[in-house]
Structure 1
Amino acid sequence: MLQFYYAPLSVNARRVWMALLEKQIPFEPIQLNLDGDQFSAEFTAINPLQRVPAIVDDGLRIVESFAILDYLEAKYPLPALLPQDLEALAIARMVAMISLTELQPATLPLIKQLVGLTVAAETLEKAEQRIITVLQFFETLLVDRPYFAGAFSLADIVAGTLVPSVAMFGIALDAYPRLNPWLERLSQRDSFQQTAPTPKQIQAALPNIRKILEAR
């Protein structure tokens, strides 16, 4: 059975977790608390980079969430999480990559501030503006379609594990009349509900998140 190494609050792991659930792939969840578990000899043998997510499937180990998602889509093609239509596929890939390379890094300074670390005002302002730019762009892609690529796809998984978090940083989503219904549809999916961290889990993890960020 596929083994899935994850931490409950890791957005990188959550996108893989959601894909596993959506594809109904049997798996063994192996939780790492990131308070030292990731440095164990057992996990380091699987991922020398000592971070989640990672999977081991039929003896094959794969690390990095996008590599895992590509592997799952290729080996377990049904139900499909990437469209066949060329335009829809381009949009799905674009949204996923923008989420990874633009939105996720922009949240980092705000997370640092949230856990009590000092961040320059200019850095925070630039991060907030980058997030707003991404949200505005995503808003334009949801015209007359329930999900980014039309049908639910990896784009919604990757963006959906990040967009809701901006509310924690005081960035209101009320100004985005298409993103809000999209988030509502997303929140009704079993995979989203099963993997969503609770406010209690988030609050309890803040000290450990601070330690991890301080070490960077």
Structure 2
Amino acid sequence: MASGGGVEESKKPKLYSYWRSSCSCRVRIALNLKGLDYEYKAVNLVKGEQFSPEYLKLNPIGYVPALVDGDIVVADSFAILLYLEEKYPQHPLLPQDLQKRAINYQAANIVSSSIQPLQNLAVLKYIGEKVGPDERLPWVKCCIGNGFAALEKLLKGYAGKYATGDEVFLADLFLAPQIHAAIKRFKLDMTEFPLLSRLNEAYEELPAFQDAMPEKQPDTPVEERG
């Protein structure tokens, strides 16, 4: 949904994104679910474009994603998702039930705080340089495995077709890209995580999710396209 007619390009929200970024993928899913047409602005993390003076004006810490919606600039996927939820109430990302809402926040935070930051490019580069290149994958698999084990326990009493029932909510937007990366990028054995594996199968049936996945983005390298 990164292109479409009827709305001037300057009027569309602009999403600064990188094809492989799971943080960006969360936001892409939300934009798709809410039916929002947007302009995709590629930021090549490998080339260091996130540290350009132009981009640092949007997000001083130099991470993706960043969203420009009219005069409003929001960076950080969690902040962007909450902003989108408040401004564009169609297809709510949060359940009305406070208990389920809290579980959604908790699951999202496990991914965004305890898994994803430990596998990002900067951390893997540091491990490769300071410890050794062969230690990067074992590190990633350990971090993802610990997080997935916690998510299996957390969601056991709440999951339906999706993470917290039979409707897609915030937790699903964080889980889908993380599971996808674990399987496709890091080749994690999912045998120990039957609940997350089942959720992944459900996500594979949703166009809003699949259209947001890394292999389908405008800046995806040809050899990575599925």
Normalization by structure 2: what TM-score? Answer: 0.76
> Which residue number corresponds to residue 71 of structure 2?
59
State yes or no: 1:155 paired with 2:167. no
Q: In structure 2, how many angstroms separate the alpha carbons of the residues matched to 1:14 and 1:92? A: 17
Q: 1:128 to 1:32 in 2, by over 3 A?
A: closer
The structural deviation recorded for 1:106 is 4.5
- Please tell me whether the aligned partners of residues 139 and 179 of structure 1 are also in contact (alpha carbons under 8 angstroms): no
- Structure 1 window deviating more from structure 2 (48-57 vs 77-86): it is 48-57
> Which residue number corresponds to residue 133 of structure 2?
117
Percent identity over the alignment is 30
> Which residue number corresponds to residue 24 of structure 1?
35
> Which residue number corresponds to residue 5 of structure 1?
16
State yes or no: 1:146 paired with 2:158. no
The structural deviation recorded for 1:4 is 1.0
The structural deviation recorded for 1:148 is 1.6
State yes or no: 1:164 paired with 2:176. no
Q: 1:75 to 1:4 in 2, by over 3 A?
A: same
State yes or no: 1:83 paired with 2:95. yes
Give 5+ residue unaligned stretches, structure 2: 1-11
> Which residue number corresponds to residue 62 of structure 2?
50
Q: In structure 2, how many angstroms separate the alpha carbons of the residues matched to 1:120 and 1:76? A: 40
The amino acid across from 1:21 in the alignment is: N
Q: 1:128 to 1:182 in 2, by over 3 A?
A: closer
The structural deviation recorded for 1:23 is 0.6
Q: In structure 2, how many angstroms separate the alpha carbons of the residues matched to 1:98 and 1:56? A: 27
Count how many residue pairs are aligned between Structure 1 and Structure 2: 203
State yes or no: 1:39 paired with 2:84. no
The amino acid across from 2:91 in the alignment is: P
The amino acid across from 1:146 in the alignment is: K
The structural deviation recorded for 1:54 is 0.5
- The superposition leaves residues 78-137 of structure 1 with CA deviations (integer Å, 9 ceiling, x where unpaired) of 111111111211111111111112222454599567997253899568536524523532
- Structure 1 window deviating more from structure 2 (134-143 vs 109-118): it is 109-118
> Which residue number corresponds to residue 114 of structure 2?
102
Q: In structure 2, how many angstroms separate the alpha carbons of the residues matched to 1:120 and 1:30? A: 29
> Which residue number corresponds to residue 191 of structure 2?
174
- The superposition leaves residues 8-63 of structure 1 with CA deviations (integer Å, 9 ceiling, x where unpaired) of 11111111111111111121111111213223332222222222111111201111
